Chain A
Amino acid sequence: MFDFRKSAAAIVAAASLGGLLGISPAEAQTLKVVMHSDVKILDPIWTTAYIQRNHGYMVWDTLFAMDEKFDVKPQMVDKYTVSPDNLTWTFTLRDGLEWHDGKPVTAEDCVASIKRWAARDSMGQKMMGSVANLEVVDAKTFKMNMKEPYGLVLQSLGKPSSNVPFMMPKKTAETDPMQQIKIEDVIGSGPFIFKADEWKPGEKIVYVKNTKYKPRSEPANGLSGGKVVKLDKVEWIAMPDVQTQVAAIQNGEIDMIESPGHDLLPLLSKDKNIKLVNYNPTGNQYVFRFNSTAKPFDNAKIRHAVFVAFAQEDFLKATIGDPTYFKVCKAPFVCGTPLATDAGMADVLNGNAAKAKQLLTEAGYDGTPIVLMHSTDLQVLTNLAPVAKSQMERAGFKVDMVSMDWQTLVARRVKKDPPNAGGWHAFLTSWVAADILNPVMAGFFNASCDKAMFGWPCDATIEKFRDQFAKETDPVKQKQIVEDLQKYWVDHPTHINVGQWYAPIARRTNIDGNLTAPVPVFWNVTKK
């Protein structure tokens, strides 16, 4: 016979014990993650830093999103049409979209959000150059009227990486694009809700499941599809010390590390409770950036000589080491993506020092020392500059490698001073592949002189190709433009891609469901 009193006592005892031990049923569904950095800034439009982008995907939603195969699919948008002359785009929002404060998402919100994003993002600025106006039709519909056909409308609105066009309430989106939004305005319509009262900078940032979120009916695919949240709470724990991160995941205190150092991967892979997962198969690309305004790199032939002198494998072995996590790939728009091509690349990146030397002689290189900035505090970048120095010296360059921390490099690379007076000739960095999928998106291809990114290349032909690409609506012709651009760019490089690399996440074996995407997202993730 069922003894109610005994059962009740047992339940009370179990609950008390659980309480004493600090165990609550909800804790089983709390995912504790160490991301690559602490979240300091809450506005993903104000900065292009990746941690803010990742934070953005938790809180806000996007009109369109990119799937695993780099196709752009509607996300907040239910349906869209484009007029036969490609001059009018009409977007209709899905039913049931709601901000975290319970107000409905409207077309007005989206128009204001697009304007703020476009004020900050180079791809957005390019698109808005072809936009006549944005017009609200009704609460759920808005139009984008174009001055001229533009081939990258969907790619721009579905841009997967920084800056992502996140949709915000009109009041928030009307914040000056040069100012951060306020903490109380961190209200989105995305799958998670930011817990302002639990945010402790330097300690943790907390998101809870948005129970009112209506996912799309399609299965999750890349950043598109149904954003079904299978956790109650996600905590991003700030833990700067990598050794401590490893100890904490081994001890079960955290569930996942977004970006464990490559030198610690062998240690993690030996632990049977931990699994390494490469959620981003296109990974990242190392890049050598020229200052095209500083002699001798104002001479395209000398820049080309560096291209000829470099060999990717040396860079990758020196930094990543394990071939599982790198790929020799000559395609500047990243191997495995729709615009990947080796066109024009046959004679470069082969480590041909003799040919490079000959090119230098022909170009009249006068022995000016190349000021190569070497960042020493970021493990994934530290060994790149010494390899570049060695390969350039073999080709006959004189190289003055200047070591500094990354933030000093970041400050120095925006200076146009002469290289021997606080300026620079070159440095190495890394891009997430999702940021460089086409010549408009890839910032280092921007060759619009002073308006270009640091390095300030000034090349009308490259700009002409980029404009043609942006305005071309036929994907086949777009690919042809990319091939033509690439053949020209090899001889007139703005930068050099020196290899593709991957950074797996480390997760406890009871965690599953990380989506294949260029950004670590937490919908679909389960914790057993």
Chain B
Amino acid sequence: MLDFIIRRLIAIIPVLTVVAVFVFLMLRLTPGDPAAVIAGDNATSDQIADIRTKLGLDEPIWTQFVIWISNILQGNFGESFFFKKTVAELIAQRVEPTLALAICTLVIAVTVAVPMGVLAAYRHGSLLDRIVMGFSVLGFSVPVFVIGYCLIYVFAIELGWLPVQGYIRIGVSFWGFLERMILPSITLAVIFVALIARMTRASVLEVLNEDYIRTARAKGLSNRVELMRHALRNAAVPILTVIGLGIAGLIGGAVVTESVYGLPGLGRLTVEAVLSRDFPTIQTVILLFSVVYVVINLLIDISYTLFDPRIRY
């Protein structure tokens, strides 16, 4: 197992190298000039050229790349072109809302979707099954921002139960944090509930047709024990795989959700950085997302061993 973890961690290096080269080149090759953005509308060409020189953007592209990579290897992720702050500081300020949103979303998604999927499989072909599948199709089809606006209209504007937007850090006020997390988490969770419920239903349905389940029933086990101990546990591996793959979707969904609900998280930082061509920030955030994605999938792989003893690394 330790060998496996070390091998996977080492494999992160080429993955990040490819991501770094790709992101760096994409940013330099796409149109847009951070110096022109910084200088503003009234700036002259000379002023823009001066700013470009100060930012080092007049250097050859490979020189810029070597400087960036060597700084990263020394733990220096650079300074934002716009804020007089290091990228590390900016990310540190923005990580809490995104982390909170991701955790709340996953908790809601798993708590709601797994029972939904199990019940749909158990009552295969029933009205409940059709409702769950109908919800899944709807969850996949409706864009995140539409769900967000609908929830805001109903729960914030019409009912006045929850605030429209904003974020309060958990250390400042737990209730403030919670009431501002409910709508964004539900909004982002809808697509995950749809995805996980569908996968859970399919996996559990497959397991329910296995011989050992029939044997378990013949032994007179209760439905709960049959479903939880035998069916769900054996169906867990594909469900975990879907959750792992869903992390990428979660990152993408966070970008939209954070914009709709005014959450100052990494998703919005990414959008702002892309729109203003803040190269150091975009590069670092995307590298960070890549690391998170790889590490979470490693954890998912490791967790397989907990549910299926046959899996050994």
Contacts and interface: CB of A to CB of B under 8 A. Distances in A.
B42 A182 contact: no
Interface string B255-286: 00001111010001101100111000000000
Nearest to A34: B262
B164 A182 contact: no
Contacts of B38: 41, 46-47
Interface in B146-174: 149, 152-153, 156-157, 160, 163-167, 173
Contact of B264 (A163, A200, A250, A253): A200
A23 interface: no
A48 B275 CA distance: 18
Interface hub of B42, B152, B166 (most chain A Cβ within 10 A):
B42
Contacts of B152: 244, 247
Interface hub of A182, A251, A450 (most chain B Cβ within 10 A):
A251
A407 B277 contact: yes
Nearest to A163: B42
B164 A443 contact: no
Contacts of B44: 122, 443, 451-453
A494 B30 CA distance: 30
A253 B45 contact: no
Interface in B10-47: 31-33, 36-47
B147 to A, nearest CB: 13
Contact of A47 (B40, B84, B164): B40
Nearest to A186: B84
Interface stretch (B48-56, B65-73, B234-242, B290-298): B48-56
Contact of B262 (A48, A178, A244, A450): A244
A410 interface: yes
B94 interface: yes
A124 B44 CA distance: 13
Contact of B37 (A46, A162, A202, A407): A407
B176 interface: yes
Nearest to B39: A47
Contact of A454 (B37, B40, B45, B259): B45
B31 A408 contact: yes
A435 interface: yes
Contact of B47 (A22, A120, A244): A120
Nearest to B51: A178
Contacts of B260: 241, 243-244
B83 interface: yes
Nearest to B172: A22
A257 to B, nearest CB: 13
Contact of B164 (A120, A178, A247, A410): A247
A456 B46 CA distance: 12
Contacts of B39: 47-48
B58 to A, nearest CB: 13
Contact of A248 (B50, B262, B276, B277): B262
Given A40-B83, A244-B164, 14 more contacts: A46-B38, A48-B42, A179-B54, A182-B84, A183-B84, A202-B272, A244-B261, A247-B153, A251-B164, A404-B31, A407-B37, A410-B41, A454-B45, A456-B45
27 contacts: A38-B272, A40-B80, A41-B83, A49-B41, A162-B40, A162-B42, A201-B83, A202-B94, A203-B167, A237-B262, A238-B262, A240-B271, A244-B259, A244-B262, A247-B153, A251-B160, A407-B32, A407-B36, A408-B32, A410-B32, A410-B33, A410-B36, A411-B33, A411-B277, A453-B42, A453-B45, A454-B45
Interface of B: 31-33, 36-48, 50-51, 54, 80, 82-85, 90, 93-94, 149, 152-153, 156-157, 160, 163-167, 173, 176, 259-262, 264, 268-269, 271-272, 275-277
